[in-house]
Structure formats: structure tokens, C-alpha cells
Structure 1
Amino acid sequence: MTKKKDIKFLRVTHLRGPNIWTYRPVIEVWLDIGELEDFPSDKLPGFNARLTDMLPGLIEHRCGVGERGGFLERLECGTWAGHILEHIVLELQNMAGMKTGFGKTRSTAEVGVYKMAFRTRDAIVGRAALDAGHALLMAAVSGESFDMKSTVARLTDLVDRYCLGPSTANIVDAATERGIPSIRLTEGNLVQLGHGAAQRRIWTAETDRTSAIAESIASDKDLTKRLLASCGVPVPEGALVRSAEAAWEEAQDIGLPVVVKPVDGNHGRGVTLNLMSESEVHTAYAIASEAGGSSAVLVERFIPGNEHRLLIVGRQVVAVARGESLRVTGDGSSSVSALVASQINTDPRRGETEEHPLGTVNVQDDEILLDLKRQGLTPASVPQDGQKVLIQPNGNVSDDVTDLVHPEVAHMAALAARVVGLDIAGIDLVCEDISRPLAQQRGAIIEVNSSPGLLAHIKPASGTPRKVGEAIIRHLFADGDSGRIPVVGVTGTLGTSLIARLLGCLLNAAGKHVGVANGEGLYLDGRQVHKGDCTGFAAGERLLINRNVEAAVFESNARSILSGGLPYDRCSVGVVTDMGQLGDVTGFHINDDEALANVVRSQVDVILSEGAAVLNAADPDVVKLAALSDGRVIFYAMDEHNPVMAQHRASGERIVFARDNHIVLADGETESRLLDLAKIRPATVKHPASVLAATAAAWALGLQHDLICGGLRAFDASKKTTY
């Protein structure tokens, strides 16, 4: 094969909102496949075998065939390089741990040039997968080798670095199931759920209801213990000390064995258990003092039993995991370090990323070194064949036991979270049997943690995975609450900027704090805060993240949809005035009216089922969009006798028109004569069809008639810096 058989990327665009391909964000690529246009997959000797050897997972791709092996069938029949690249990129993302499945490739009017789109959860990862996929495809075409292992490792690293962590993703997925929109606010795990004034924010297991004071209390173990004890929650006896000598004195007062831990530690760091001698206590004090941020250290009574982590969300225990001591078994020839590497760290649940519920074990950790010393061992020691060696007595909480928890234990754990003040908490509890009351077995709560880890409950080593994300969403949003504010999209080229501003004024008259993003600027409560074209995604998102905005209106057109997608996932009302002209989308490979209509339909595709499409009945192409709306349809036109209007009204639906110079709302046979057009300001009434469109949208949103009339009278189209 010659080097001319290659693919050029003509354009790569991240479409962040709903677009011509799908509701979800995609990367769209314009491809020139050059001479490969003459070489579909069935005309490249050995290509299919080489590709499937590299990517055996392609057998799972159903493609347009709709069944397992569908894409391989397409390969055998012959398909082109753009389509093949689409599936390679999807498979590489899947192999890197970012599960995706949507992709499409379409030819253009230019021979050899294709448009390809594929779903990605992060633009950086998606672009890297695209480049890697291109290299892999060329290697398969030419018969050259390809380093799959390092490629997947690099992509996996990018997924770990840039994508939401699994705990946050679990919450976001639960929100999506409820129809609650989400916006990622940073490259980390700070996510907004919902829009505008209805939004909530999460940062993994922290929410905007999580009190900073409560977090400070939870980080002070001594204060936490005192507060819990005052409310009758069982905690281990103990005291705060500031020297190794004082630690030993306290240990003797309490009675051996004891536990030594940092007063301000978390996640088990610096904690040493079951201490029986003065030397052990002195060593443990040094470990705890170094691990914490304070010279103060806690000495507590050692409680025999298993460690448990109870996840509290709101006032409920939603998941419980039980821990186990970590041991290795000697073989008579391997060191402790080697046994840990082969018997513990090979566990697929262990790793350094958030994807792993358990961390890797480092035998050089001070706590582990002390436990080995107490057994007369070091990391270099070689245990006898069959000898059991304790490596870690705690910190391995991974077995689900939620269904075994005694109601009194659950009550105590939930009470502990409330006493500290945390809305989401991880309660660490030690007892021998979680199915019995703590008082019967001298069990106790040893820690209350803010921002608890969720992965052990989502992916337990054994037992039932728990719907932690769903519980957190229920905590943040009441039943029936979608986290949405009224969102209106206005698409077309006929007076759309005017319609958006006028509708903003009408919503403002109804007492809403309103944001408007249109071709003239960005408006908040009638005041222009940014001048210039704001029909793009970034400007629109500014409104959705604004906690003061109670309703938002967005103008878009075919060009802005093609450039970045719509700035919202769904809308309450979608207004379409016209399709625009092919000249508006020059350079986007939109070559006929059908393709243009496929772009504009995006506005109607995103209308909520409880919402409405407001369509211009005077434009036959716009009328055709009515069949695509999941919500109701309101037609508007100056002429009530328009056949579309008459038929729609006869079927019991709503229309808006002008009669005798008055705006009229008709709902089947019922009519409401709204306002004399002469009472609207001259600069506004010069565009009567735009007035009707805005009125219809306000009606669809449920605004009262007198408020609509008041807003129409107040609006002045001549003032561009206000509504």
C-alpha cells in the first residue's frame, strides 16, 4: 500500500449540546479518505483479519445490522474507511474504560469526503482516541505493527485524568435516569445538577447541603467523640494526648489493648490497632503524629470485631460494607513483599485510581511495618510454608452486608451523622455482628467521615451493589422535581432575536428572573450584560449555570446548531419561524433543503413531552416539523383561515392569530381576544408575526393573559440594551 492511501482530518468539532446526530455530546469529524474511496474493506487483502485481530471486541458492535457481529458483517460485505474509523474509535474508548456506543458516518456531495460523529464523554479523550484510531487503521491497511498495549494504557490514563470519577459518574447517571440535566463545572468532579435557580451541586459525595462546619467537626476526632457521647451514641473510651509518654499512661488507664490514631486523620491513615506494649504505643504515637496535622493524638480502647462502613444519605442508611483483615500465606520461599505483590496487589479491585474500590498495599507503610514487627517479621522476611501473616487489620471494607444491619445499629449510625451535621456521611463502626444491637456486643462508632468513598458500595467485592447515586439524587431532588427551569428555544431567521427578547420581557412581567441569549447579546432581567452574537453554546451555558435565573430563552439558527449544538439538553417550548437559506450554512456540506430541515429539526427534537412546539403555520416546511414534537403543537399565523391553522383548531388544538387587529388565542372552539395590536409600541408591532410567536410561547408556558398583555405593552423593540 502507498502512503497516499491515508485519511486527512479536514475539520474536528466538539458538539457539546444536542445536534444533528444525537441528543448527546459528540465529536464530529470531516474526513477526506483520498484513494481509500476506491478501496472499501472487501477490496483490501487481509485487512479485515488484521483489524479484528487487533480489536477482537469489534464483534460486539451491532452497527446498522442491529445484532452482535453486525459490524463484522459490514466489513465482509465492504464498507469504507470513514465508517471503519468510527467503530475503531468507539472500541478504543471502550477498552480505555470510557463506555460509548453511538457513532454515525455519512457521505457528502464531495467524492471521498465524509462526515463522521462519535459519542465521547470527554473531548480530550475523544480526540486522543480519534488520533490513535487513525494510526491503528493505517497500520491495518498497510499491514504494519501497532502497539495496542501502550495505546490503550495512554488512553486509560487520559480517562482517569479527565473523565468523571466512577463515584461522581454514578450520581450523574442516576440524575440522567430521572431526567435531571447535568453540567460539569470544572475538569474535576464538581458537577451541577439541574439548571439555573433549580440547580444543586455535587463534588463526589459532597453536596451544596454539606456544611463546612460539619466537615470541620468530622475532621476533629476528639470533638466528634464528645458530641456523639453526649447524645448517647456508643464510642470507645479514650483521651487526647500530646506525647508518647502520655499515650502510654492513657493506655494503662484505659486498659490494654488500645488504638492510637491522629486526632484529625481520615480514611484510616496513621491508625494502629490492638497495641499491647509500651514500645508499640510509643511507635504508634509517632506514626499517628506524623500522619495527622496536629501534635495531638487519640488513644482509645481497642474494640474487637469487624470494621464496617455505613453510608448515610439524608437520614437513611443506604449501604453497608464489612471489612476484613488482610493476610498472606507463606510458601517457604517468597518474602513478605513478594507475597503481598502476588496474593494481594494482583486483586483487580486494587489500584491507585478512583476506579478501584481498594488501594494497593505498600509494605513500607509505617502501620504495616509495625504490625510485621509485632509478628517478628520485616518485608524481607520469608514466612514458613502455610504460615499466616497479618498485613493490615483494617481498611479493606468491601463486602456488602446492607441487608444484615440491625435497625438499632442503623438508627445509631444515622444519629451520628445528624449529630455531626453531615447530610452524607461514612460511619465507621466496629462490632462482631452487625445484625445485633451494639450494646449487646460492646460495639462502637469509631469515626464519622465527610465525603465518604462510594465505590465499595457501587462495586462491592461480594454481595449486592447498591444504588448509591439514586439515593443521593432522591436526597437532593424531591419526587417529581427535575431540577429544570422553563427553557425556551427560538430557531430560525425571521425575527428570532426580537421573539427571544420579547418573550424575556413577558416572563419578566410574570415575576421571573429571566436570562436571554440571542444574536444581539446576553440579557439578565432585561439588562444587556454582553453585546454581540450570543447564539453559541458557551454564551447559552452562562445562563444555565446562573443560580438567579428562573427562566431562560435562547435564540439559535442552523449555523449555530451545526457549530456547537444547542446549549440545553431539553426545552419546555421550541419556537421555529423558518428553515433559513442554504446560503446561511455555506461550508457545512448542507446541500439541499432536506439536509437543512434535518438541522433545524434539532430544535423540535429536544422539546419535553410536557412541553410544546410553537410553529409558523405560514411556512410549509416548518409545518412538517409538527409530527416530530414529543409535546403539543401550537401553530401561529396572521391568517386564521390558513388551512393548517383551521385543521389544527378543528382537531381541538391551540392556535394564535390576528383578527380585526387583535391578537386571538384559540383552544379548539374556545377563543380569547387578547390585545389590540395598536396598543403595542410601534417599533414592536412592525413585526406582527414575531409578536404572535412570542405570545404563543408565553401561552404554552402557562402565563396568565393579563401578564402577557402587560408585557406586550411594556416592550420596546427599539431599545436594544433592554427588553
Structure 2
Amino acid sequence: MAHFPDIQLLRTTYLRGPSVWTYRPILEVWLDLGALEDHPSHQLPGLNQRLTAWLPDLVEHHCGVGERGGFLQRLEGGTWMGHVLEHVVIELLNLSGMPAEFGQTRETSRRGIYRMVFRCPEEAVARVALAQGHRLLMCAINDQPFDLPAAIQAIKTAIDDRYLGPSTGCIVAAAAERRIPHIRLNDGNLVQLGYGAAQRRIWTAESDQTSAIAEGIAQDKDFTKRLLASCGVPVPEGQVVASAEEAWAVAQDIGLPVTVKPSDGNHARGVTLELTREADIKAAFALAEPEGSEVIVERFIEGIEHRLLVVGGKVVAACKGETVSVTGNGRDTLRRLVEVENQDPRRGFEQEYPLCLIDANAPAVQLELKRQDVTADSVIEAGRSILLQRNGNMAIDCTDEVHPDVAYYAQLAARIVGLDIAGMDMILKDVSQPMQAQGGAILEVNAGPGLLMHLKPTAGTPRPVGMAIADHLFPRVAEGSGGGVHPGRIPLVGIVGTQGNAFSARLTGWLLQLSGRLTGVASSEGMFVANRRTQGGSAAHWAGAHRLLTNRLAEAAVIQTTARSILDEGLAYDRCLVGVVTDMDGWQQLGDHDISEPGQMTRVLRTQIDVVLADGAGVLNADIDPVADLARLCDGEVLLYSLHEDNAHVAAHRAGSEGGGEAGRAVFVRGTQVVLASGAAERVLGTLDGLRLAGGQRPDTGALLAAVAAAWALDITPELIAAGIKTFEYTA
């Protein structure tokens, strides 16, 4: 059997936003098949059998056939290795727990060179998946062994290292369901939801509405209890202690049994329950002391530990805990029984698991074993139950059982502390009964509570806590209370082309500024806020737009981009209110993207129109036929502009014979007049000589019309547009 050299990965580019391929982030890979260009899949003996043996779920890939088994039909009929690699990578991502349903492979103008893309929300994960998929495919082609479990684990490790944690991830997913955009601000879990001044920020289950003072209060558990008690909320009696001896003395004063815990710990670390013996209490002090700044001894309250999640003043989810124990069989040591218990698929170290692995050597577990006079190496007699953990395993959903009185105290405690999102740890015998009548109490109020227990309970119904937080941050607008409301979005104008676009962007930004919105502009002439240059150099690229969209001052944004930026990076925004295409020039400089003729620019520049919101508008230069033809791709309204009043596209658009039958709007020049037309109705904005800038210069007419049309698409009045042009101070 012939040995084939590796497929060459010529270059890989991560496109972080909408591109010529799709709306979402993808990895684009240029491949050189080499000798494999002459050997499609059906000409490589055993390849298909090896692939399906390693990846049996390839049968679920519909491919272009459109049915289950579609890709396997393509394999058997013969398909090229770039296409095969696409599906191998997608399947490896699926097996690693990150579904990746989108991929495409296309030939370039050079024989044997292909562009292959696949969707993946994290660049580092995408690159690891590509490397593993590439190696698997070459091993399958050359009939060599391949370690599939190791490949999947490598991808999983990349996911764990780079992907959002479950709490942050569920909020981002809920926001995406409501079409609220997001921007990841660091390598961790700090995420911006929305753009500009409309944004909110989250860090796991904390928001930018979470008060630092409230968080500080919640971290001091002794002060929190005193504050709650002063407002009538039931809490266990307790006291801060400075030594093991004081812990024992306070325990005797309070009354046994007691709980010993750190004053500002979390995740139940260092907490020991139901202590009665002096030695155990002193040992518990030593366990709690390293976990916080102080140690608290408090009265033990009989009942089951519960966690209630309060969001925006309302209880949205509740879980109750269960103790962890193992039962002896008369043969195995306790250590072996713990190993068996850890095989429960719900247990793991990663955040995706609702239950943690049990460490038989952990100090808290050792303390529990000591209280039962056993060790990890003891053989436990048949039928004897050994308690390992009393807390920290809240994973049984009980949301529907919460009594209104219990919910009242949870909500009251969150308000007293001042948290908008709070995890309330409560001890209750029965969550369906009034709190005080059963002697229940609030143990802790937690800022930034974990959400996994509500997303993946071990029993009961998962709760949409991510959506509850998204709705808290972006309250839903009642139907009929006003159209065109997009949560988390600001008016955003995207401009692409080459003809005077920097001027058009800056004038549009000025007109938006005059309409009452503090406006930022990212253009090839720099970054501007309220027409004041804040950064020099070109900002007509992904990074420039990104900086603008993260600026909390920006109540509106105008972003200039280029065909190259779309091909190299993708757009920095997922949608825009107005998209402007001025021309399709510049193809001569894009040969490295396999563009060699003007007609290929349509596929690139349509990206700007593809992202226009349904209640937005596309602004198109009617004097360039391919640009005007983009009108058919726009989900929103279309406004055309032209230097000629007799432009055929403008006439048809005004008459309603293009784009759906409704009379459209257009901006054009008649003689020396700039005319705004809506169907048959016309209004003269002014003369070209009269529409001079503040410095007296007369702008390029095409660039002026593009800005006027964009401003009109934003419903800025003609009077303000005319006045704004004359007051615009422009220096390149």
C-alpha cells in the first residue's frame, strides 16, 4: 500500500464574527492535498472502514445529501480529503462535548488547494481539534494506529482550559437565545452582554449590578448573620473564635451540638457539622482556620441543607442536599468503597459535573471517619453505612416545593445584604412548610453563587437560571410597548467599500451625535467619540470595532470596515441596524484570498447586508449594478442612493417593482439639488453648493449621499441632516 505524505495545512485563520461562510465564529484552513488530490475516498483501500470503525457516529452526518448516512454515501461514492477532514474534525468536537454541526470545504483556483471551515466558539479548541483530526485522517489513510481516547481527551482539556464555566456559559446561552450579543473580555469568565452603553457585564453569576459593598458583607458571614438577625431573619446563634480552646468554650455556652466553619469561606470548604466532642470541635477549628480569615462556632440546627437562588428579588430555583455515605460489604476497605462511589458518572473534578469526587484523605472526610472510629483502610462490615460528607452536595431540585414563607425570607435576606443575585444557604426540615414554625434558619448569603446544581440536578427538573439572570439584566419589553427595541443593542451602522467611506462614517456619526446619542466612530482615519479623535491610525478593522463596542460611553456606533477585514477577521458585530455598501472595488489586492475578478466581491461584501436587522435598513449605491443587486439579500428596508435622478434601479425601487412591491426610499441628485424620495413623494434637502461643511469645503458627492441615506435610514429628520452637514467640522 502506498504511503501518502501529510496533507499540508497552509494557513489557518480564526474568523471571530460574521464572514463569507457563516454568522458565527469559524476556523478557516487552507489545505494542500498533494498526491491525495488524485485519490478520493473510494480509491483508498480500507479508508472508509477505518474511519467508520473509529468514528461510527459519522453515520449521523447528513452532509449535502440531506439525510442520515449522507456523508457515508459521499465516502463510498468518492469525495476528496479536504471534505473528509471537515467531517472528522466536526465529529471529534461532537465526541468531546462541543457540538459543531457546521462545516464547508471548497476548491480554490489552484489544483489540490482547498479552503475548509468548521464552526467552533473557541479558537484554541478549534486548533486542537484540527490537529487531532488531521492526525486521525492521515493514520486512516496510511493504515496506522491512532489513539482516539487520547485525541478526545486533548480536545476536552482544551475545552476545560478555554471554554466558559457552566454558570457563565448558561447566562451567555440564554442571552444568545434572546439575540443579545456577547463579547468575552478576558480568558476567564468576564463577559460583556450587549454593545456600548447598552451593555451589562457578568463574571460567573455576578453582574455589574452586584454591589461591591454587598459582596463584602456576604463574605463576612458573622456580620451577615448579625445584620440579618437585626432585621428579623432567623439565623443560628454563633460567635467568632480565635483558638481551638475558645471554640470549645463557646460551644459549651451555645449548647451542643455545634457547627464550626470559616467566616468567609465558600463551597462548604472547612465546614464541619453536628459536633459534640471536645476533640472533634478542636479538630474542626484546625480544619476551618486555613479556609478563612476567622472561625465561627454556631448552634447546629437539625434539618436538611437547602440552596435557594434569588435573582432580582425573586426565588427562581431551589435545591436540597444529601449526605454522602458508603455501605460496607464485609470485604472491601473504605478506600475501595470510595473508589467505587467515585465511578458515579455524575462525579468529577471539572465544573461540568454536579457532584465532586470524594477524596478519602481530605481533612473533612478524615474528621468524619474519626468520629465513627474507622479509617480509610478499615474493612467495613456488611450493611454498615459510613458517613463521608454531611454537606456540599446540594443537587436535588425542589423549586416547585418552596413555601411562600421560605421564599419570603430568602428574598428578604438578599435585599438586606444588597445582592441582585444571591445563593441562600438555609437549613430546613421541610422546604414546603413555613420557615419559623419548623425552626429553620439562613446559614449564609453567597454572592456569585454556582448555578450548576440548578442546571444539572441529580434528581428533579433542571431550571432555566441563565434565562432568569438574562431577563434580570435585560428586562423584557411588554408586547406593544414600542417597536424596534433590541435588548443590549445600540444603533449601529456598518459601512464597507472604498469610496470616501471614512468621510461617510464620520459624517453619519456626527448626524447621530446631533440626534441626541453620544456616538463613537471607528474609521480608517482613527477612532472618534462625539467627533473628537480619541485614537489615531486606522480603526477600520476588527480590533478597532471591538474597542468601540466595549466603550460604555457609546450610545450609538458607526463602524467602517473593508473587504480584507471581512476575509481576514470577520465582522466584529453580529448584527447592525444600518448596513452601507458603497462599491466593490479593491479586488485586485485580494489575490491571497483567491479573488481574481470583480464578480467575486459580491460574496464578500454581501456579508455587510446579511447582518442587517429585520427592522433595520441596507443602504446601497445604485450606480453600481452589483451593489444595487444586494437589495434582494437584505432582511430590512432598502435605501438606494445615486448621482443620477434617472437611475433605473432608483426608479424601479421608488415604484415598488424591486424588492417586494412596496414603494422604497432613495436619495439622488437632480441637477444641483439633493433629493430625498419616498415612493412618489419628494423633498429637496438642499443644493450641493448649499450643503457645504463647517469649514466651507464641498464634500465628495457620492460620500455625502451615502451618509445622508444612512442618517435618513436611522430616522434622523431632513432638517437635522441639512443642519448637521453645515456644522460638521471635518479634517482628515
**Residue equivalent to 2:660:** none
Match of 1:607 in 2: 612
| Residue aligning to 1:679 | 690
Mapped partners of 2:442, 2:463: distance in 1: 22
- TM-aligned CA deviation for residue 4 of structure 1: 4.2
Distance 1:456 1:256 in 2: 31
SS at match of 2:593: coil
Matches within 5 A, 1:226-265: 226-265=226-265
The residue number in structure 1 matching 2:108 is 108
Q: Which amino acid aligns with 2:685?
A: L
Asked whether the 8 Å contact 1:257–1:302 carries over to 2, the reply is: yes
Offset of residue 240 of structure 1: 2.1
- Give the secondary structure class of the aligned counterpart of 1:587: helix
Q: Secondary structure at the match of 2:209?
A: coil
Compute the displacement of 1:426 (Å): 0.6
Mapped contact 2:236–2:442 kept (Cα < 8 A): yes
Contact 1:109-1:591 at 8 Å conserved across structures: no
Aligned position for 1:302: 300
- Distance (Å, rounded) in 2 between the aligned partners of 1:79 and 1:559: 31
Distance 2:565 2:248 in 1: 71
Q: Are residue 499 (structure 1) and residue 467 (structure 2) matched?
A: no
Residue 629 in structure 1 maps to residue 621 in structure 2: no
Asked if the contact 1:8/1:31 (under 8 Å) is kept, the reply is yes
2:163 pairs with 1:199: no
Q: CA deviation at 1:716?
A: 4.6
State the match for 2:457 in structure 1.
460
Question: Counterparts in 2 of 1:71-470, with a 5 A limit?
Answer: 71-294=71-294, 297-343=295-341, 345-470=342-467
Deviation at 1:675, TM superposition (A): 2.2
Tell me the distance in 1 between the aligned counterparts of 2:527 and 2:646.
37
Cα distance between partner residues in 2 of 1:684 and 1:570: 34
What is the alpha-carbon distance in structure 2 between the residues aligned to residue 331 and residue 68 of structure 1? 48
Paired with 1:690 and 1:355, the residues of 2 have a C-alpha distance of 52
Cα displacement (A) at 1:369: 1.2
- Alignment check: 8 A CA contact 1:558 1:580 kept: no
1:358 Cα offset (Å):
1.8
- What is the aligned partner in structure 2 of residue 658 from structure 1? 669
1:689 aligns with 2:714: no
8 Å CA contact 1:313–1:423 kept in 2: the answer is: yes
Counterpart of 1:359, as a letter, is C
The SS at the match of 2:100 is coil
**Which segment drifts farther, 656-665 or 194-203?**
656-665
Deviation of 1:444 (Å): 0.9
Counterpart of 2:481 in structure 1 is none
Partners of 2:691 and 2:722 within 8 A in 1: no
- Provide Cα deviations, 1:106-137, integer angstroms capped at 9, x if missing partner: 11111111111111111111111111111110
> Does the aligned pair in 2 maintain the 1:6–1:36 contact within 8 Å?
no
The whole-number CA distance in structure 1 between the counterparts of 2:368 and 2:230 is 34
Instruction: Show structure 1 runs of 5+ residues with no match.
Output: none
Of residues 620, 623, 626, the one that matches 1:618 is 623
Query: CA–CA distance in 1 between the matches of 2:714 and 2:589?
Result: 30
2:536 maps to 1:536: no
d(CA) in 2 for partners of 1:564, 1:173: 23
Shift of 1:33: 0.5
Alignment-derived partner of residue 576 in structure 2: 571
Residue 684 (structure 1) shift? 5.4
Corresponding position of 1:68: 68
Residues 654-690 of structure 1 deviation map (CA, whole Å, 9 limit, x = unaligned): 1111234222212223322222221233775341121
Structure-2 separation of matches of 1:601 and 1:360:
51
1:509 corresponds, among 509, 514, 520, to 514
CA contact (8 A) 1:426 1:448 kept: yes
Q: Per the alignment, do residues 500 and 3 of structure 1 end up closer, same or farther by CA in structure 2, a change over 3 Å counting?
A: farther
d(CA) in 2 for partners of 1:209 and 1:338?
47
Between 1:473-482 and 1:198-207, the stretch displaced more is 473-482
| 1:475 is aligned to 2:488 | no
- 1:302-343 per-position Cα deviation (integer Å, ceiling 9, x unaligned): 111211111111111111111101110111121111111112
Q: Secondary structure at the match of 1:528?
A: strand
Distance (whole Å) between structure 2 residues aligned to residue 288 and residue 4 of structure 1: 61
- Please report how far the alpha carbon of residue 67 of structure 1 lies from its aligned counterpart in structure 2 after TM superposition: 2.3
Q: Distance in 2 between matches of 1:217 and 1:680?
A: 60
Larger deviation: 160-169 or 705-714? 705-714
> How far does residue 200 in structure 1 lie from its aligned partner after superposition?
0.6
Which residue of structure 1 lines up, in the alignment, with residue 726 of structure 2?
713
Work out whether residues 82 and 105 of structure 2, in 8 Å CA contact, stay in contact via their aligned partners in 1: yes
Residues 57-85 of structure 1 deviation map (CA, whole Å, 9 limit, x = unaligned): 22222211222222112111111100111
CA distance in 1, matches of 2:587, 2:718: 38
Q: Is the CA contact 1:684–1:716 (under 8 Å) kept in the aligned structure 2? A: no
- 1:525 to partner: Cα distance: 2.1
Residues 360-392 of structure 1: CA distance to partner in whole angstroms, max 9, x if unpaired? 111222221111111111111111012111111
Give SS of 1:79's match.
Answer: coil
Tell me, in whole angstroms, the C-alpha distance in 2 between the residues paired with 1:320 and 1:675.
Answer: 64
How far 1:43 sits from its partner (Å)? 0.9
Matches of 1:635 and 1:375 in 2, distance apart?
82
Partner of 1:27: 27
**2: CA distance, partners of 1:63 / 1:5:** 27
Q: Secondary structure at the match of 2:252?
A: helix
Contact 1:684–1:715 (CA under 8 A) maintained in structure 2? no
- Residues 121-175 of structure 1: per-residue CA shift (max 9 Å, x gap): 1111111111111111000000000111112112111110011112211111111
Name the SS of the counterpart of 2:360 in structure 1.
coil
Which range is displaced more, 430-439 or 60-69?
60-69
Deviation at 1:581, TM superposition (A): 4.4
Residues 509 and 710, structure 1, Cα contact 8 Å, conserved in 2: no
Q: Counterpart of 1:541 in structure 2: which amino acid?
A: H
Aligned-partner residue type, residue 577 of structure 1: T
Q: Distance in 1 between matches of 2:586 and 2:421?
A: 53
Equivalents in 2 of 1:68, 1:315: separation in Å? 47
Tell me the amino acid that sits aligned with residue 28 of structure 2. Answer: E
Shift of 1:645: 1.0
The structure-2 alpha-carbon separation of the partners of 1:368 and 1:83, relative to structure 1 and needing over 3 Å to count, comes to: same
Deviations 1:682-705 (A, max 9, x none): 775341121111001001112122
Distance 1:362 1:211 in 2: 36
Shift of 1:3: 4.6
Task: State which drifts further: 226-235 or 685-694.
Answer: 685-694
Larger mean Cα displacement after TM superposition, 533-542 or 505-514: 505-514
How big is the shift at 1:244? 2.3
Hey, what's the Cα distance between the residues in 1 that align with 2:130 and 2:638?
Answer: 41
Distance 2:552 2:311 in 1: 24
SS of the equivalent of 2:592 reads coil
Q: Structure 2 vs 1, CA of residues 337 and 616 (structure 1 numbering), >3 Å: closer, same or farther?
A: same
| The one of 622, 640, 644 aligned to 2:645 | 640
Q: What is the deviation of 1:298?
A: 1.5
Pairwise CA RMSD of aligned residues?
Answer: 1.5
C-alpha contact (below 8 Å) 2:588/2:596 kept by paired residues: no
Q: Report the TM-score, using the length of structure 1 for normalisation.
A: 0.97
Partners in 1 of 2:308 and 2:409 — Cα distance?
11
Q: CA deviation at 1:190?
A: 0.4
- 1:328 maps to a residue whose letter is V
